[in-house]
Chains A and B, each alone.
Chain A
Amino acid sequence: MRLRESWVAFAALGALAGAVIAAPAASAQTAMPSLSQAAANTSNWAMPALNYSVTRYSPLDQINASNAGQLQVAWTFSTGVLRGHEGQPLVIGNTMYLVTPFPNTVFALDLNNDERIIWQYTPTQNPEVIPVMCCDTVNRGLAYGEGKIILHQADNTVVALDAETGKVDWSTPLASYKEGATGTGAPLVIGDKVFAGVSGGEFGVQGFMAALSLADGHILWKAYSEGPDNQILFDPNTTMSLGKPVGADSSLKTWKGDQWKIGGGDTWGWISYDPKLNLLYYGSGNPSTWNPTQRPGDNKWSMTIFARDPDTGVAKWVYQMTPHDQWDYDGINEMILADLTINGQQVPALVHFDRNGLAYVLNRATGALIAVHKYDPAVNWTTGVDMNPSSPNYGRPAVVAQYAPGSHGVNVNYQGICPAALGSKDEQPASFDPQTGLFYVPTNHVCMDYEPYPVAYTAGQPYVGATLSMFPGPGGYMGRFIAFDPVTGNTTWQIHDQFSDWGGALTTAGGVVFYGTLKGYLRAVDAKTGKILYNFKTPSGIIGNVMTYMHGGKQYIAVLSGVGGWAGIGLAAGLTDPHAGLGAVGGYAALKNYTALGGQLTVFALPGS
């Protein structure tokens, strides 16, 4: 193999374009596949969550429960960026694509030639974006479609790059970071469209989902989370909630005055899609501010699961999980589409592990509620959801006032609430293994005290209004990786960790589950028994999601390390227990005593060729 040393730099033209640095092609390029071709090839990882169902289940089985213990590091790659690395790379054919946190450099690596950098692209973004990102400058990954790599930049601009050269094809800003809107979520490509949301719940940004043309980037529709029906794209007669039409002004009626305009409900999580039903699924985040007393009402449709027609944007059904949020339990976690057998019947289910500590099972065609269970027994803000269809509170959680900030007014410290604001699970995605029928969920076993107080709104400035103290849940540990059945609520096995499990899970046909820990361990676990088969300490804490691909007849496992994100804020210095006094150890110890900053990809494989 000969590597040419004469690198050519192309200075990209135009105000929005950043710099592309490209090495000459080492071999003749073949035409790039369509997304459906790329996704059908099980060697690839062509979508952020591998598939539209967001199961993160790979049919690859070369690595299995009997040989996973022999895994070795095959190669590594430094991203050159120090801040929190969420997300996962893509692999299409012989090329791996990955994106860093701000400045959002995109790398294309040649898997055939020493993982050399085929091209890299760094957008030009105003550094003023950095402090507007609520919880570190993370990016949850790229999307691919029809020869283009889709990047959702920190400044909420969506960019299409030529997958072979890194050249900018088009670039479309969605909303302004000057008002607090930023981009962290992975986009999704469906047919001739690109879908992307927005972050900014801590800045009062009115959340939306946007559909763009894959061909030229123009915005086809934008559907807001709150506002008049023509902004939220609801049809009062056909948009359903729990079996009934929502009626006119379903959002406006639940806000005081025009507070919905700064109402949050941002859409920074994962997007799924059911091609048969032609429905797009995602969740909305917290209503702004964190002081609930300041925004009376149910604050619809924050904290909501949306099912929309991707062609028109019109909502088919919606379900609000946490009306009038009092905890910052964003509803943006992934919607996993799985066909489950429930009471002997095949059900097209949507399974969602919410920040609020409840696991929801809905019929994804109709939005009907099937089952709701706590997936962490520590959850205490609710006694459960009313499942009686004839009850006036059908579908609502029964709230325990003692653990509900605002229920006794502002300037009160509500103590011992579980889970904490970062949720029993945050964005770190779970995985569904159809072989065991179980969901594998990385969770945060963390509780909090929450003290709300009045705040002022200024465009582009934080709009928070609460003091939170977080501490480990009962047992003194914060990480809990579980194998869970959301229909019965049974936990088959669990693994505890000192720190939260903030890395996304991968299941494989080899019967092995993978995930990363905040201390930096990449872990392979037997899906059936929970036995740890392999445990390797990567250079930095893991908040990225494990992925797998096949190349040259070999199965690889890859994960980004790089501690940070919300986990890095609270845990870097360690937590204090406001109730235990001095001498707290274990779960309270500082994460910085275990791991330091640094973005790196680590790729594993079995020995031999």
Chain B
Amino acid sequence: MTVTSRLVPIAFVVALGCGVAALAAAPGNPTPVKESGGIWTDKDGAPTFAIAKDGSVDWGTFVGFLRYNDACLRCHGPDGAGSSYAPDLTQALKGIDYAQFIAFVAGGIQAVNTAQQLVMPSFATDKNVMCFIQEIYAYLRARATGGLGRGRPSQHAPAPKGFDEASYKCLGIQM
């Protein structure tokens, strides 16, 4: 399977940018039904994880681990487990479906008042996040509902052909 495009259509993201509250829903059954470009999806088409009996994770979940560390760890802590100022995503993701997840990440969240100063920025223009949003969701979903433990997954499926090239193209960089 060759990877061609990596960006979630921006229209999808923008459409979800408002009305966050109305979208609250628990994610459905995470059973993977289809694979494309290293990313598994569930019956509703939302990204999910595929963990083999030996603990080996699918490629998308592994990439999600890496890119989570790049973009989210500085607030949500190692392995999504929360920090002194941002929530534990392994709990939060139990109650958030893919649409709402994208709405949060693309739209950002603010809770600034006299008691707290909590701000998550909008990542809508950050390619390091948006090029890998499906993978980041798959990884966090695996952490929240798939029994994936802490730390770097010890084994993972190989990269699908063309993954690096497609990634660099999406990121707009030359290596």
* CB-defined contacts of B119 to chain A, threshold 8 Å: 127-128, 130-131
B84–A467 CB distance below 8 A: no
Which of B73, B84, B167 is the most central at the interface, judged by chain A CB atoms within 10 Å of its CB?
A: B84
* CB-defined contacts of B131 to chain A, threshold 8 Å: 456
B75 at interface, CB cutoff 8 A = yes
> Which size class do B's interface residues fall under?
35 or more
B74–A202 CB distance below 8 A: yes
B79–A136 CB distance below 8 A: no
Distance in angstroms between the alpha carbons of A451 and B121 in the assembled complex: 25
Q: Which of A84, A134, A410 contacts B84 (CB 8 A)?
A: A84
B78–A134 CB distance below 8 A: no
A451–B74 CB distance below 8 A: no
With A128-B119, A131-B120 known as contacts, the answer to whether A570 contacts B78 (CB < 8 A) is yes
Q: Please, which residue of chain A has its CB at the minimum distance from the CB of B109?
A: A131
B66 at interface, CB cutoff 8 A = yes
A399 at interface, CB cutoff 8 A = no
B78–A469 CB distance below 8 A: yes
B74–A564 CB distance below 8 A: no
For window 109-137 of B, CB contacts with A under 8 Å fall at 110, 112, 114-121, 123, 125-128, 131
- Chain A interface SS verdict (over half): loop
B74–A127 CB distance below 8 A: no
**Interface with B: A42-50, A87-95, A316-324, A457-465, which one?**
A457-465
With A454-B171, A455-B171, A458-B125 known as contacts, the answer to whether A135 contacts B74 (CB < 8 A) is yes
Distance in angstroms between the alpha carbons of A569 and B88 in the assembled complex: 11
With A456-B128, A573-B77 known as contacts, the answer to whether A467 contacts B82 (CB < 8 A) is no
B172 at interface, CB cutoff 8 A = yes
Q: How near does chain B come to A364, taking the closest CB pair, in angstroms?
A: 35
A130–B78 CB distance below 8 A: no
Distance in angstroms between the alpha carbons of A453 and B128 in the assembled complex: 11
* CB-defined contacts of A574 to chain B, threshold 8 Å: 81
Distance in angstroms between the alpha carbons of A294 and B175 in the assembled complex: 7
B173 at interface, CB cutoff 8 A = yes
Task: Mark each residue of chain B from 98 to 112: 1 if its CB lies under 8 Å from any CB of chain A, else 0.
Answer: 000000000010101
Distance in angstroms between the alpha carbons of A132 and B69 in the assembled complex: 16
Q: How near does chain B come to A195, taking the closest CB pair, in angstroms?
A: 27
B151 at interface, CB cutoff 8 A = yes
Q: Which of B84, B88, B118, B128 contacts A461 (CB 8 A)?
A: B128
B12 at interface, CB cutoff 8 A = no
* CB-defined contacts of A456 to chain B, threshold 8 Å: 127-128, 131, 171-173
* CB-defined contacts of A469 to chain B, threshold 8 Å: 78, 151-152
With A202-B74, A467-B66 known as contacts, the answer to whether A127 contacts B128 (CB < 8 A) is no
Q: How near does chain A come to B48, taking the closest CB pair, in angstroms?
A: 21
* CB-defined contacts of A103 to chain B, threshold 8 Å: 117
B151–A570 CB distance below 8 A: no
A467–B152 CB distance below 8 A: yes
With A467-B66, A575-B78 known as contacts, the answer to whether A569 contacts B125 (CB < 8 A) is no
Distance in angstroms between the alpha carbons of A572 and B172 in the assembled complex: 35
Distance in angstroms between the alpha carbons of A575 and B81 in the assembled complex: 10
B44 at interface, CB cutoff 8 A = no
* CB-defined contacts of A455 to chain B, threshold 8 Å: 70, 128, 171, 173
Distance in angstroms between the alpha carbons of A128 and B119 in the assembled complex: 7
A83–B84 CB distance below 8 A: yes
A82 at interface, CB cutoff 8 A = yes
Distance in angstroms between the alpha carbons of A131 and B42 in the assembled complex: 32
B65–A467 CB distance below 8 A: yes
A329 at interface, CB cutoff 8 A = no
B53 at interface, CB cutoff 8 A = no
A503 at interface, CB cutoff 8 A = no
A568–B128 CB distance below 8 A: no
A470 at interface, CB cutoff 8 A = yes
List 7 tightest A-B contacts by C-beta distance, closest first: A568-B84, A573-B81, A467-B69, A131-B121, A456-B171, A130-B119, A461-B126
Pick 10 A–B contacts, CB within 8 A, sort by A. Answer: A80-B114, A83-B117, A131-B108, A293-B175, A455-B171, A458-B127, A467-B66, A564-B85, A578-B152, A592-B84
Give A contacts to B, CB under 8 Å.
Answer: 80-84, 102-103, 127-128, 130-132, 134-137, 202, 293-294, 410, 413, 449, 451, 453-456, 458, 461-462, 464-470, 563-564, 568-570, 572-576, 578, 592, 597
